[in-house]
Structure 1
């Protein structure tokens, strides 16, 4: 026979339930019961409720399961509102970003951490917090095409946030399937490639009307889609080299389309004030009226930045490993006579044509770009330059040349893979002469291919064999600028038995994903072009081979950043290949000498190699091209830019000071939890499975929002007063005899309003305030040795004593929890209402009437909902339930 308030065990559901009411009619007895695990109230007949208490078989696994479950609930209930949402444990610099971002209502920032510090994770943390506070619903991420997959996978895997990727090829399909022109309005969270939505001014064969229609469909439909938060990754690209560049127009439109804006860039300032001014004006046009406003005090409120040398882990230790750079200097010998002759012939062809093309630079930009490509290819591989020369010859023979549309600004932004086709079709300065010269060069190139493998191949094989002989599981990344070189190396290495994967900028997203998966799980060698390698996270490899060296040192730095990232466990070894007897090597040598001298004169740290140059953003293409064919003039060619280099270094020091953020990350060590959520979840599941008598299976990937995990976290364990109590003895632990309890204190239905308190009272009913936590740590320690049995339950009056002592102990926690909820509820409401006003203002500026009206109506519904939630959140519903009571033996 049960009474209201009693805890009973329902043999049908297998849960402890609380009796709410006894119902007796015509001799039939039933009970209305409440199941706290499901929140369900239902009727149960007397026979299904166990009068002897629950049927739990107490053992060590059960006790450890309950302890771990309680620990996880406590950890995920504290801190930021979004802490429930993922298993991410932020590093100090990432916690700093979240703290800074959420300090004000005006969330418009540049996240400017250096490469490899996890800006995507920081943005994800901000998304989760804004969503948890009800400030955003619709989120748009705009990024380079190569980063689309990374964004989608990291948001899903680390934050359990589903983002829909909309590619240009998807646009018409979505419109047809949804029968709606508002393509982007169909999804609340979207990732879109930057270059697929930027406005165009002209297109070959298109009328003005068609260009306008394209822009209206692709750009303005996304702009007018009512975003709450817009994130632009690699945002320095939308700064543009001038205010008229298409990417900058896109950035300007996006910046006006959302109240909240995050611009992500490791290099927001390249030493030139104008692009940086355009970038910060996207955040706040009024705050930055002109270049004079680009000062540290004005920029600081809008920019959050950590440098690699500042970054520390959650133990306060240096976050990054060492980087060891090796210059692999190669020299031609008698085996490479034709390769050397090929280099000299190509250099002569390039030098003559380049000097002529410069006389009408504006008209000949396509040809200039082609010549730059040819010169860079000839030191990359014989195959690469031969193929391009053959394609160029075919264009000339078929008279397929045409005036290109490349501008000098385009040349600054162009990846080496992007403009090759257009460059190959550049107008010739003297077609007959060029055809004759190309035929001679191609003939030598064909002979060179058969004379001996490229000069760099033999050394490459030696390095690969040496590395893999020490560790055959090693992962090695090879970078090249050219697809043709990539294919040459792929065929060569596969033929020699290496397991090789490859990636380049022309590959579709699904192909890219497969290549990365293959490298991680199977291949030893990964060959990537620069365009293909953009945005890669390859910290599971620590070997990078730069098979050819870009002329812009920043490109090399970006390559190294693929492996030199958070999570890298080893020192990063870099091998830079260069052919000794070339103009390129001579330029590099003289450049390093001059930079070393300049840096010493200016009191800057010693210049070690070109990769760490303070002028890494300076592109030395002009120096290289003007030195081709005239190696003795390299120093003369560098003289005119020495003063510019000095000025660049001065600018570098100034802008680094402008974007440098003063902070002490050591103060944040330990502020974020060091609790390993994933490991705890796996351990909890393992204890549960063992307690249930099932075979333990390996859990490779687990998340706090997984369906099975959610069931555990929603489980409310209650102690009945009938069943035998677990009896526990701890080996080699100096405890008193008494009672260990876990009590659940709650002030609301929300998980953040709950805490589980470990409490110990000795057998004389004296509370030991510190002992509860110490004992909890023992149960959580998998290495502790427990002996578990059972003893008879205690009398009701003893339960009342334990409850009184426990409630007195828990009162302080109740007050703290209540005050925190009140504060967070008010802050959340204030920020939501502020954001709602901004969103309403933004909605009023939507150009399409029906979309504007619909958007305003939705926001009004949201307003009513948040006001109701605020009212509910202001109420406190305290409850104090005993989860488990065990007898602790001395």
Structure 2
């Protein structure tokens, strides 16, 4: 087990005499090698070797006079179970699960979490601490204010799952930025096995009597009809992500959330203080009205001026009663660096013509269906992304007659030419470069694509080249997915994947990945990276992006993603940055509109640069707010709170 982790949580341990690895004091045998306890050298944090071992708190009370319950396991059964466990589960994963259990096990001063045995993920100990603090110390209402990238969504998910299992809540409202709606739904469904609904209309809430978990963007929730419906419902739990949007008590967002009928409230933000100390008061007043008595009392007690704290230690101590905050330095999470390689290939003349004609078809369709709304823009965005992924993916869509009949009839010549070119281009320059890149290094590698037809084509090409290929997609059943991942971990080779958020996609044994095509949502890219650049990764992570010169995908990589330095950001940071944008429209929709409405690549490049500058401004604002929050709320590194 991790000695630093045991010390951090003050868990007494001894060193096994055989393997010299830490194991919990009181355990009859080593959890790693199975050696017995006799003769082992003992140690415990804060205790001398001669000190007696602390008593183990009994989990089951026995009646007076009854014989004690024996937990002794026959040696042959213990040995068989240990061997089976070690074969099926990597030792580091088993140790993390054991540590999580020990940290979450009931003691004299903490509850036992029912949810940990019912979710397919392994929360870090500090995430469990956060959930326990909200549930127990803060009685279900508090602020999760960890630094960016530490998994506040996981902490909130544990709180939510635990309350549901204990039948504490039935009606839940989750409010998030529009750009995070899909990600929240995906995380709660896949990592916590929760059913999440996105109400189609205010009537949906009334008809369903509001029971269940309802997920909305804050912008939509504030609209007149939806707001009226939400304000009528007595919610058991209201959860708000990127809650710094509520910092100003004069805004509609703050007044709306404050007015909701609710038993429990959980806010998530990495920057609870931004421009003014009164913002901290406003957030805490939502979670616990009257906690600081009044704004006048708060100013007199804790404020020299808007930016300067009076009695900082007292303020931190008070905030700790309604706020959980971990710093990256506290969590001992140190990840290896990332290395990014952008490969730009030169497409053939036929490929370039196919791309140009697809762009022309999309723009003509857009002009003809200008009044059809977002559905048309979404359909055309898919066509454009498929054109830079593979001809096979593009043809699968065009040949399924997804375009409206009026467009197919009016643009029949252009459509026929696009289909003819797509059938002629069997292998693209990007595909050849991928095969070369994969075969140049025997180390395991993950290749991501958004489209199943592209995946099939790449599988055939790589197999013909002699690579060992595994396929992971939504078309596999749960058991098939698990078997695929186990085989890839054991045998190496190439994992072709269309899914980035699926259960169990923790692939830190692999440190190489390729983005064969680029999703327009930066958070999807971040999810891909997060599968391998996570706790347990030992090697520098190599990220390769393959784009074709002269395409909008190359402009997206060269101008937008490079300028905002997406591949250098901490996992989770892009979520907070995008929440700082003034435009509530999700970024991928803005990019799609930009591509469709730009008459030339030069115009598209100019518009992409403007968008990059907008995101850079949001980055600067977010960084400044992080520093302000740290100054107000964080003790110096290595200092324990009093």
SS at match of 2:378: helix
Match of 1:99 in 2: 133
Residues 559, 612 of structure 2: 8 Å contact kept:
no
Match of 1:870 in 2: none
Residues 472, 498 of structure 2: 8 Å contact kept:
yes
Q: Is 1:148 the counterpart of 2:166 in the alignment?
A: no
Unaligned runs of 5+ in 1: 1-32, 40-60, 62-71, 153-190, 203-210, 224-229, 396-423, 597-605, 672-890
SS at match of 2:413: helix
Match of 1:416 in 2: none
Residues 329, 578 of structure 1: 8 Å contact kept:
yes
Residues 627, 637 of structure 1: 8 Å contact kept:
no
2:386 paired residue among 363, 369, 377? 377
Aligned runs of 1:289-300 on 2, under 5 Å?
295-299=279-283
Residues 108, 283 of structure 1: 8 Å contact kept:
no
SS at match of 2:334: coil
Residues 498, 524 of structure 1: 8 Å contact kept:
yes
> What TM-score, normalized by structure 1, do the two folds share?
0.44
Residues 467, 494 of structure 2: 8 Å contact kept:
yes
Match of 2:68 in 1: 37
SS at match of 2:411: helix
Q: For residues 365 and 249 of structure 1, what CA distance do their matches in structure 2 show?
A: 23
2:412 paired residue among 414, 432, 435? 435
SS at match of 1:570: coil
Q: Is 1:328 the counterpart of 2:297 in the alignment?
A: no
Compute the displacement of 1:242 (Å).
1.5
Compute the displacement of 1:444 (Å).
0.8
Q: For residues 669 and 541 of structure 1, what CA distance do their matches in structure 2 show?
A: 37
Residues 380, 485 of structure 1: 8 Å contact kept:
yes
Q: For residues 627 and 431 of structure 2, what CA distance do their matches in structure 1 show?
A: 44
Match of 1:808 in 2: none
Alignment deviations for residues 582-625 of structure 1 (CA, whole Å, 9 cap, x no partner)? 233235434468x57xxxxxxxxx88879987955644515741
SS at match of 1:548: coil
Alignment deviations for residues 806-838 of structure 1 (CA, whole Å, 9 cap, x no partner)? xxxxxxxxxxxxxxxxxxxxxxxxxxxxxxxxx
> What TM-score, normalized by structure 2, do the two folds share?
0.58
Q: For residues 140 and 507 of structure 1, what CA distance do their matches in structure 2 show?
A: 33
Q: For residues 272 and 344 of structure 1, what CA distance do their matches in structure 2 show?
A: 47
1:367 paired residue among 376, 387, 392? 376
Q: For residues 247 and 558 of structure 1, what CA distance do their matches in structure 2 show?
A: 34
Match of 2:397 in 1: 388
Compute the displacement of 1:380 (Å).
0.9
Residues 549, 556 of structure 1: 8 Å contact kept:
yes
Compute the displacement of 1:105 (Å).
2.8
Q: Residue 548 and residue 276 in structure 1: after superposition, are their counterparts in 2 closer, same or farther (change >3 A)?
A: farther
Q: What RMSD in Å do the two structures reach over aligned CA positions?
A: 5.3
Residues 508, 532 of structure 2: 8 Å contact kept:
yes
Alignment deviations for residues 55-77 of structure 1 (CA, whole Å, 9 cap, x no partner)? xxxxxx9xxxxxxxxxx999967
Compute the displacement of 1:442 (Å).
0.5
How many residue pairs match? The answer is 477
Alignment deviations for residues 312-354 of structure 1 (CA, whole Å, 9 cap, x no partner)? 44xxx4433322222122222xxx3322221121122223333
Q: Residue 277 and residue 495 in structure 1: after superposition, are their counterparts in 2 closer, same or farther (change >3 A)?
A: farther
1:455 paired residue among 429, 443, 453? 429
Residues 503, 532 of structure 1: 8 Å contact kept:
no
Q: For residues 475 and 454 of structure 2, what CA distance do their matches in structure 1 show?
A: 15
Match of 1:716 in 2: none
Match of 2:633 in 1: 662
SS at match of 1:343: helix
Residues 542, 568 of structure 1: 8 Å contact kept:
yes
Q: Is 1:81 the counterpart of 2:110 in the alignment?
A: yes
Residues 336, 540 of structure 2: 8 Å contact kept:
yes
Q: Residue 105 and residue 249 in structure 1: after superposition, are their counterparts in 2 closer, same or farther (change >3 A)?
A: same
Compute the displacement of 1:556 (Å).
1.3
Aligned runs of 1:773-852 on 2, under 5 Å?
none
Q: For residues 366 and 514 of structure 2, what CA distance do their matches in structure 1 show?
A: 30
Aligned runs of 1:179-328 on 2, under 5 Å?
191-192=194-195, 194-195=196-197, 198-201=198-201, 216=207, 219-220=208-209, 222-223=211-212, 238-243=216-221, 252=230, 256-258=234-236, 295-299=279-283, 302=287, 310-313=328-331, 317-328=332-343
Alignment deviations for residues 383-407 of structure 1 (CA, whole Å, 9 cap, x no partner)? 111211212xxx3xxxxxxxxxxxx
Structure with the larger RCO, 1 or 2 (CA within 8 Å, 6+ apart)? 1
Residues 108, 262 of structure 1: 8 Å contact kept:
no
Q: Residue 241 and residue 477 in structure 1: after superposition, are their counterparts in 2 closer, same or farther (change >3 A)?
A: farther
Alignment deviations for residues 501-541 of structure 1 (CA, whole Å, 9 cap, x no partner)? 44445666565555545544556433333575588433343
Q: Residue 243 and residue 445 in structure 1: after superposition, are their counterparts in 2 closer, same or farther (change >3 A)?
A: same
Match of 1:352 in 2: 364
SS at match of 1:325: strand
Alignment deviations for residues 200-252 of structure 1 (CA, whole Å, 9 cap, x no partner)? 449xxxxxxxx97x984xx33844xxxxxx7x8xxxx5225422799988995
Match of 2:607 in 1: 637
